[in-house]
Chain A
Amino acid sequence: MQEDREPVCFDEMTLPDGKIRPVYEKIAHWLANTPSSFLSARHAQAELLFRRIGITFAVYGDKDATERLIPFDIIPRLLDGGEWARLETGLIQRVKALNMFLADIYGAQEILKAGRIPADLVHGNPQFRPEMVGCKVPHDIFVHIAGIDLVRIGENDFYVLEDNVRTPSGVSYMLENREVMMRLTPDLFAEHRVAPVENYPDMLLASLRSVAPVNVAREPVIAVLTPGQYNSAYYEHSFLADKLGVELCEGRDLLVEDDVVYMRTTEGTKRVDVLYRRIDDDFLDPKAFRADSIIGVPGLMRAYLAGNVTLANAVGTGVADDKAIYTYMPEIIDFYLGEPAILKNVPTWRCREPDAYAYVRDHLGELVVKEVNGSGGYGMLVGPHASLAERETFAAKLARNPENFIAQPTLALSTCPTFFESGIAPRHVDLRPFVLTGSTGVKVVPGGLTRVALKEKSLVVNSSQGGGTKDTWIIEGSAQRQSQTQT
């Protein structure tokens, strides 16, 4: 019975008739001609490299494994230049619209006045920050760094699964995966023209510098703000600070005096202009938000509202990556840009709507149901893979608070060849490209983080739930262009 429900999925290397898709030809040849002992040795080497570099992540609620490696798969995931070009145009469009949406809802609220999205979805949203209403942020940019999760279900069929515009993580894996692959399989790189991703930190630095408060006449001082080394993404925070060449600060390293932010240094205090913060809004400033936050900076919000420091991303962006707002993205793109959305949304039932709720309740076994504000794969139900008991428990949760949930069909996510000691097998993947916005426009580094669900048939790719990662190669062909810029 289980088999019957398994959808037929698109494999990115091998078509149903056994033909290899052109972009994968050399990889297929390599896999066919490489003894599995070689792959196995490379796999072990990769793990050793990651462990020694210290690329680990913490899993919440797992006290024995406070630091675990995200499994890395040594078979790269390939997209051709033409495929990427379409995705890139769509990503730029989407992030532009997200920024315009945020500037609007914290400004004139035209979209609400026009009745294009329900006002209560914004005002009643726990991620909406009334403090930000009327606040002008430099260049009207709220989202400087976005991670847009894409899935593929067919040759030309990509969907946006979710937008991450608070503190998206994973970019360090994109960069380190590439470094490790270049060390382990130099021959493969020689055979392919792989678009480089290594300039991401430079692009990020340029974006951050471009959004410094306008009254800063000197070279802006930038710092990364981390919750500290017990945070699951701490490695990434330190990695980025290092690559950017800026200080990695914890809340206790910063202080606010007369609405100006300073860091504590061995030579006294030093003014900070831009904070790439990896702390959620709630914990940013105990005086403005959660009073029990010990990782925040008291007074930071006042300094921010006074325009003395730029926060990237801005405060209150969470209202735009909410799973309920997500369903309105086509309307949002149309409203601000007057264009149809290039990247499709996954059809979604909003359980706040009675008809949709009734449908979802009756079809739990077929759907993926997510909490509107959940992330990391927690609090979601994958209907086809859940037991009857799990479904019943979930149904009760859903009934108590339908507006808190959305549901989507179980997508037949594409698969990519993945290495296991027992052989090479297809596994489901998604893709998170990273989109940067600065005063000179929106830029995407060609690639992203491919996450792979290592468990057979699993569709959950989150690293906190046993997912792994792959290096993502955009193969330059004749159709390939330079990374695009749009202002």
Chain B
Amino acid sequence: MLSRTADNLFWLARYVERADFLARVIDATQRLSTLPTAYASTGTEWESALESSGAAEGYRARYETIEAARVVEFLTFSTENPSSIRNCLEFARVNARAVRTALTIETWEAINGAWIELKKFEKTSLGKGSYDREELSRFLDFVKKTSLDYDGTAYRTMLRNDAYWFSRLGIYIERADNTARILDVKYHVLLPEDEEVGGSLDYFQWASILRAVSALTAYHWVYRETLKPWKIADLLILKKEMPRSLISCYDNICHFLDQIAGAYGHNGAAQRHAHLVMERLTKATTKEIFHIGLHEFITAFVEDNSLLGQTISEQYLLN
């Protein structure tokens, strides 16, 4: 297939996944910030939302103070924030439109339909910058549904060939990056077993992390006990059955890279690098991770993950 087509499919998937993550972060932050200070509210919830979305720098360049309404606007409808939900959905559609022929009609309709819907939301008071909480939650639901539609139609209708494999790679690389980012921003509340800081006051922070990666219920099913920070780290990093964990993302990444290598009859730097990261995750334990430091571990992972993105580009997308 054309390199550009693969590139468009890869980025289409990434932007949809990113929009979904942003919606979840906003949703979780919104809940956290409305709790009484005595429970969890530290007043910095929106700042961490900006941090985990990678939008903090852009925001600070424009505004001096962190205000909920502004942050929400910046993360949702702002045209100035390259990673606002609005822009993610626009870039997703631009990429989809460029490869219209590589998508099934159902997948195209999911993306194009979302864009039409977004245009309607833009005309509401929320779209015009006012912090309408009810409208906001409808909007966030719509964004989450968009990623489900995209994912579902792709899964159900696309041929299992390189077009599908590059799309899936986009999803999992973006997802790994998102999970890693939220862990990185919140690592200070996730402390090892033997340290007792913050106590149960951090409970709502932990819940909010899980909510952002839609893993709150999953946690209870897996561990059958109350939230413990090291278990949250375990779930989001090392549990294969958790679809947003780093290891699950890499399991998929390796799988789809292997499919591509099989079809093209050639292994390359991308396959080697992905398997290396996977091996590290497979061998790792939470004990070790907390020993070298969660922050250090995550930072190294984020770098590895973005290196993989570059390697895939060089190997396939920029021919």
B-contacting residues of A (Cβ < 8 Å)? 51-54, 228-229, 234-235, 238-239, 241-242, 247-250, 252-253, 263-269
Contact = CB atoms under 8 A, between A and B. Distances in A.
B316 interface: yes
B319 A54 contact: no
Given A249-B2, A265-B319, A266-B319, A52 B98 contact: no
A52 B4 contact: no
B1 A265 contact: yes
25 contacts: A52-B109, A53-B105, A53-B109, A54-B100, A235-B100, A238-B97, A239-B100, A242-B101, A247-B1, A248-B2, A248-B101, A249-B2, A250-B4, A252-B4, A253-B4, A263-B2, A264-B3, A264-B4, A264-B319, A265-B319, A266-B1, A266-B2, A266-B264, A266-B319, A267-B264
Contacts of B4: 250, 252-253, 264
B112 A54 contact: yes
B2 A238 contact: no
B19 to A, nearest CB: 19
A270 to B, nearest CB: 9
Contacts of B101: 238, 241-242, 248
Counting from the closest, the 6 A-B pairs by CB-CB distance are A242-B101, A238-B100, A266-B316, A264-B319, A264-B3, A266-B6
B108 interface: yes
B185 interface: no
B27 interface: no
B34 to A, nearest CB: 37
A229 B264 contact: no
A264 B3 CA distance: 6
Interface string B100-122: 11000100110011001000000
B158 interface: no
Interface in B67-110: 94, 97-98, 100-101, 105, 108-109
Interface residues of B, number: 24
Q: Which of B4, B105, B316 has the most CB of A within 10 A?
A: B4
B189 interface: no
B109 A253 contact: no
A52 B112 contact: yes
B2 A253 contact: yes
A171 to B, nearest CB: 16
A265 B97 CA distance: 19
Contacts of A250: 4
A264 B318 CA distance: 8
A229 B6 contact: no
B168 to A, nearest CB: 14
Q: Which of A52, A234, A235, A250 has the most CB of B within 10 A?
A: A52
A54 B97 contact: yes
Q: Which of A228, A239, A265, A266 has the most CB of B within 10 A?
A: A266
A122 to B, nearest CB: 38
A253 B97 contact: no
Contacts of B113: 52
Contacts of A269: 319
A34 B280 CA distance: 70
Contact of A268 (B6, B105, B166, B319): B319
A239 B264 CA distance: 27
Interface in B118-148: none
B154 to A, nearest CB: 17
A229 B98 contact: yes
B216 interface: no
B317 interface: yes
A269 B97 CA distance: 24
B234 interface: no
